[in-house]
A and B are shown apart, each in its own frame.
Chain A
Amino acid sequence: MIEIDNVHKSFGALEVLKGIDLVVDKGEVVCLIGASGSGKSTLLLCINALEPIARGRIVVDGIDVHSKQTNQDKLRRKLGIVFQQFNAFPHLTARQNVALAPRKVLKMPPKEAGLLAEQHLEKVGLGDKIECYPAQLSGGQQQRLAIARALAMSPDYLLLDEVTSALDPELVGEVLDTLRMLAKDGMTMIAVTHEMPFAREVADRVAFFHQGVIHEVGAAGALIDHPKEARTREFLGKIL
């Protein structure tokens, strides 16, 4: 369970998170929607401690993420993250990309890590690209590689930061298919996304961000089809 309790965060004078409260249960898929700059992506970075917070608390499975006593490197193994920008390591093949963290972080023997990598690459449909370098992969394939890389650490949660936003339209589908499959397998996910049909179909709940606060949160279908708040309606009206 991820408990986010009154989280505040600023970049200089700009307050990007102004008291966020949200609880995500095991097995749940929650989509964060809202205009760019509303703080969604920042929240993801705060959840796995890639960004510090100013006030409040984030607790993952009983561990206070931002406490000084917490080993954040160890904690991040629980929380896989995939970004909007392509971030496959360009100097490593697909297999090496996926095997790197299991080898270095979990101290897995190279052979075992390689096999694990193959399993996960096959799972995301890259079974025939195992020896390819990122430069030889399309954007959609690179994003699936990044997902496989996160999965290889057997995370309990997956944080997805607009993973389809940098893709050409025809490549979005293959990445969303992979995420659908993970949702079906029961993976807990928090996804920042602009893909409303996807959110309605896959998410259990949707949270609408506006200027650093969660304006409305509710069951996916209900919120997207019948938003209660005027701001939510306005945002959805622009995007749908």
Chain B
Amino acid sequence: MLDYTFQWRVVWKHWPELFQAGLLTLQLTLLSIIIGLVIAALLAVFKDSDNPILKSASIAWIALARNTPALLQIYMAYFGLGAFGIHLTPYTAVLSAVAFNNAGYLAEIIRGGFSSVPASQKLAARGLGLTPAQSYLYVTLPQVLRAVFLPIVNQVIWAMLATSLGMIIGLQELTGMTTFLQSQTFRPFEFYFVAACMYLVIAKIATVLAQLVAAYLSRGGAVK
């Protein structure tokens, strides 16, 4: 059926470029998650705050991030902001758009984590004479961490997948570099196949690491 000779040597020749691009993907993913987490923590606090401006800004951010395609968010950062005289490089555009997206999802994960800790836990801690800060630090927070850890890992994987959209605005992260290289060599299947394997390996390493941490966090019972 296959009247086609696979040629892997040409991919091997370009391995240094692919590897660099893979590192760029990794870097974008981690930065977008870190920035996203910081903003998400603020959004989560603001969403339950009494200040109507902060509250509605937080609600709007979360709703927009979750209900529009990530690609549209990247277009917005890359093309749309031009109307305000802001011209981002492809790298900054992808980073800010994916971080914007992450923040919206992570904010809801964090809120869910806090609401999963029964109020009686805090009461019990205070009843033992712990100060509010102590009860927060030693009782509430560890339980929140358990609840949010796996959803956050899923978001990391998702962020990695989302950075591949950078290819569409010409960023040479893993997908963009692959697209560039295959257009030079006319070996699309081989190049994309190797790129797919690289994504798979990154995701697999991340999940295995995450499972180790989850096992530690869930000592004394399964992560609920």
- Within the complex, are A and B direct neighbours (CB within 8 Å)? no
